[in-house]
Amino acid sequence: MRALFAGFFLLLSLPGLAADLTLTLPSGTRTLTSAELLQHPQLQTVEIAQDVAYKRPMRFLAIPVAALLTGVKASDHLQMVALDGFAAELPAEPLLQSTGSRAWLAIEDPTQPWPKLAKDKSGAGPFYLVWTEPQVDHIGPEQWPFQVVSIRGMASVAERFPALLPAKDANAEVLAGFAQFQKNCLACHRLNGAGDAQFGPDLNLPHNPTEYFAGDFLSRYIRDPQSLRRWPQGKMPGFSPQVLSDGELQQLIGYLRHMAGRKAL
């Protein structure tokens, strides 16, 4: 009889059933399992017209991200960290709002796993940040982290990483470029050794790309990395004009050029 029971419990704890989400917030640290999150009173089905990770319409079981962010203020800053070290930097404000673009934490049901992102790849689970009406507040593709394992409250990027800051007398274009850098690049790249990402190369040390990309090759690279260097394992996504307008791209490059003169030695 006991053996029968043990076998029964073994069956209940099959692999895949125990995905954890760790929340480190001003209100404290807690870990929630996907099973607990799938019981959340605000759980609902969310339709995503143009899913960023799957590149097609998708439907997820999800809860409003705001429902998890106890004690978080609009002026706070959050980081969502994925299995592969991708660390999306997110101002809390759009995550908390209930109008305009809305943020949802999609939860993979281990008994009905999501499809693979590509052949030889795993899916977007266990947790994935998706947005409804992303265009309203200009939410970019780097604000859709997938395979999320933790959400952490943090001080702002500027406070945590002074080595990323432009000079005090930097002009408005450079400051705007710094904002674009945080929104689009910092999730994968460090600069001056500063940042939490471990995915792409440092963009200032030992050399800044504005120092060795001639002509307009840097903007062409950012638009479409494979147009410059093509190999199957290339991981950097291209940034289309819808994501980063020509003006914003020039601001971003202006920030990078400015930082070439501010190397952390």
**Residues that bind ligand HEC in the complex, under the rule CB under 6 A:** 142, 184-185, 187-189, 199-201, 203, 209, 221-222, 225, 234-237, 239, 252
Q: How far apart are CA 210 and CA 226, in angstroms?
A: 18
Q: Tokens 């991708």 correspond to what residue? A: 86
Q: Which is nearer to ligand HEC, 26 or 193 (CB)?
A: 193
What is the phi/psi pair of residue 175, to 5°? -65, -40
| Number of Cβ within a 10 Å radius of residue 201 | 13
| Number of Cβ within a 10 Å radius of residue 193 | 13
Minimum distance from residue 79 beta carbon to ligand HEC (Å): 14
The dihedral through the CA atoms of 185, 187, 188, 193 has a sign that is positive
Q: Are the CB atoms for 154 and 61 separated by under 8 Å? A: no
Q: How far apart are CA 55 and CA 155, in angstroms?
A: 32
Q: Which is nearer to ligand HEC, 16 or 85 (CB)?
A: 85
Minimum distance from residue 261 beta carbon to ligand HEC (Å): 17
Of residues 239, 190, 7, 230, the one with CA closest to residue 86: 190
Minimum distance from residue 265 beta carbon to ligand HEC (Å): 20
Q: Which is nearer to ligand HEC, 25 or 205 (CB)?
A: 205
Minimum distance from residue 203 beta carbon to ligand HEC (Å): 6
Minimum distance from residue 44 beta carbon to ligand HEC (Å): 29
Minimum distance from residue 183 beta carbon to ligand HEC (Å): 8
Of residues 186, 204, 185, 203, the one with CA closest to residue 195: 186
What burial letters (b/e) apply to 174-186, b meaning 16+ CB within 10 Å?
bebbbebbbbbbb
Q: Which is nearer to ligand HEC, 91 or 237 (CB)?
A: 237
What burial letters (b/e) apply to 151-171, b meaning 16+ CB within 10 Å?
bbbbeebeebbebbbbeeebe
Q: Which is nearer to ligand HEC, 135 or 240 (CB)?
A: 240
Q: Which is nearer to ligand HEC, 34 or 183 (CB)?
A: 183
Minimum distance from residue 190 beta carbon to ligand HEC (Å): 11
Q: Which is nearer to ligand HEC, 123 or 200 (CB)?
A: 200
Q: What is the dihedral of CA 111, 117, 122, 126, to 10 degrees?
A: -50
Minimum distance from residue 189 beta carbon to ligand HEC (Å): 5
Q: Which is nearer to ligand HEC, 16 or 234 (CB)?
A: 234
Inter-CA distances, 155 with 9, 75, 107, Å: 43, 10, 27
